[in-house]
């Protein structure tokens, strides 16, 4: 379905980004991976995706905390694979603290990676998409793009910002063949969330299974984690012709978290 298209997935060395990259690769897209990690592990991942999916897979380790980093990622994709047809803005970080104790440099980092990088990626990729008359931008927001939780001021502000930016991007691209949507996952058991499970286990003297159950029980009525594979399937659908008129949406996949 996506044969001949090039997909850039930010933060795809781990978790949700990796699940989405794999799903897009299986659908036939050439891939540009991005994110941090051990060089040998990333190279093994790159070549295993290449043979598993039968597509070209490149990697660029840009730090998306700066405008220049995001720009270099998009330019690398254009130079090595010929353009960016699908941009999945996924890279993100979390920091948990009450507002009055929130370290200013953590606020700046969360806003830079979770929100500004989405703007810069979109800004850099749009001219090529518009010129080709086809493009898909998928922004990984969060249930926290729709509702709040205490102690996550920067994350919630950034993710609400991503939902707003998604709507503006959809309006500015309407009728051009480019769509832009946000996916709003609930809890997904990735390294980002395991850190929060570990903090809860330490704070309450729980074992890992009990901490996971408590984390889910507090927010996600299904009591089950969303998986990267499920999110990957939704991203592939958003890239399909069936979704050509779906744009500007913020789509929860959250076990009824935001239905409450």
Residues with catalytic function: 155
214 forms part of the interface with ligand NAD (CB under 6 A): no
| Rounded Cα–Cα distance for residues 19 and 170 (Å) | 25
- Helical spans, DSSP H, in 15-147: 15-26, 39-53, 67-81, 104-111, 117-132
24 forms part of the interface with ligand NAD (CB under 6 A): no
Residue 45, SS3 per DSSP: helix
Q: Which is nearer to ligand NAD, 135 or 185 (CB)?
A: 185
Residue 13, SS3 per DSSP: coil
Q: Which of residues 90-129 bind ligand NAD (CB under 6 A)?
A: 90-93, 113-114
193 forms part of the interface with ligand NAD (CB under 6 A): yes
Q: Which is nearer to ligand NAD, 148 or 192 (CB)?
A: 192
197 forms part of the interface with ligand NAD (CB under 6 A): no
| Rounded Cα–Cα distance for residues 146 and 31 (Å) | 30
Instruction: Please give the size of the binding site for ligand NAD, defined by CB under 6 A.
Output: 28
Residue carrying structure tokens 């994350």: 155
* Structure tokens belonging to residue 141: 């927001």
Q: Which of 14, 116, 122, 258 binds ligand NAD (CB under 6 A)?
A: 14
| CB 71 to ligand NAD: min, Å | 13
35 forms part of the interface with ligand NAD (CB under 6 A): yes
Specify the stretch interacting with ligand NAD by CB under 6 A; choose among 9-17, 79-87, 122-130, 165-173.
9-17
User: Are residues 131 and 85 in contact, defined by beta-carbon separation less than 8 angstroms?
Assistant: no
H/E element holding 136?
Answer: strand 135-140
| CB 6 to ligand NAD: min, Å | 18
Q: Which of residues 168-187 bind ligand NAD (CB under 6 A)?
A: 185, 187
Specify the stretch interacting with ligand NAD by CB under 6 A; choose among 21-29, 33-41, 96-104, 236-244.
33-41
Q: Which is nearer to ligand NAD, 12 or 247 (CB)?
A: 12
Q: Which of 96, 192, 210, 233 binds ligand NAD (CB under 6 A)?
A: 192
How would you class 252 by CB atoms within 10 Å of its CB: exposed for 0-12, middle for 13-18, buried for 19 or more?
buried
Q: Which string of DSSP letters, residue by residue, matches 169-210?
A: HHHHHTTTTEEEEEEEE--B-SHHHHHHHHHHHHHHT--HHH
Residue numbers at the binding site for ligand NAD (CB under 6 A): 11-17, 34-36, 63-65, 90-93, 113-114, 140, 142, 185, 187-188, 190-193
């Amino acid at each position: 379905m996506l044969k001949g298209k090039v997909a850039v997935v930010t933060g795809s060395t781990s978790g949700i980004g990796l699940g989405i990259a794999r799903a897009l690769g299986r659908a036939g897209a050439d891939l540009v991976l991005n994110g941090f990690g051990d060089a040998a592990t990333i190279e093994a991942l790159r070549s295993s995706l290449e043979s598993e999916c039968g597509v070209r897979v490149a990697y660029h380790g840009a730090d998306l905390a700066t405008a220049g980093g995001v720009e270099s990622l998009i330019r690398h994709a254009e130079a090595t694979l010929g353009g960016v047809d699908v941009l999945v803005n996924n890279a993100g970080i979390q920091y948990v603290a009450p507002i009055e104790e929130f370290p200013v440099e953590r606020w700046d980092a969360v806003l830079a990676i979770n929100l500004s990088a989405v703007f810069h990626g979109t800004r850099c990729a749009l001219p090529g998409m518009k010129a080709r008359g086809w493009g898909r931008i998928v922004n990984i927001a969060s249930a926290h793009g729709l509702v709040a939780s205490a102690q996550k001021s920067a994350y919630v502000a950034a993710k609400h910002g991503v939902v707003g930016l998604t709507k503006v991007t959809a309006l500015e691209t309407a009728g051009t063949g480019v769509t832009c949507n946000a996916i709003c996952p609930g809890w997904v058991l990735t390294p980002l969330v395991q850190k929060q499970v570990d903090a809860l286990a330490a704070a309450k003297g729980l074992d890992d299974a009990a901490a996971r159950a408590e984390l889910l029980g507090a927010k996600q009525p299904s009591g089950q984690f969303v998986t990267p594979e499920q999110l990957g399937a939704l991203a592939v659908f958003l890239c399909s012709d069936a979704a050509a008129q779906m744009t500007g949406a913020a789509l929860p996949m959250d076990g009824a978290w935001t239905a409450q």
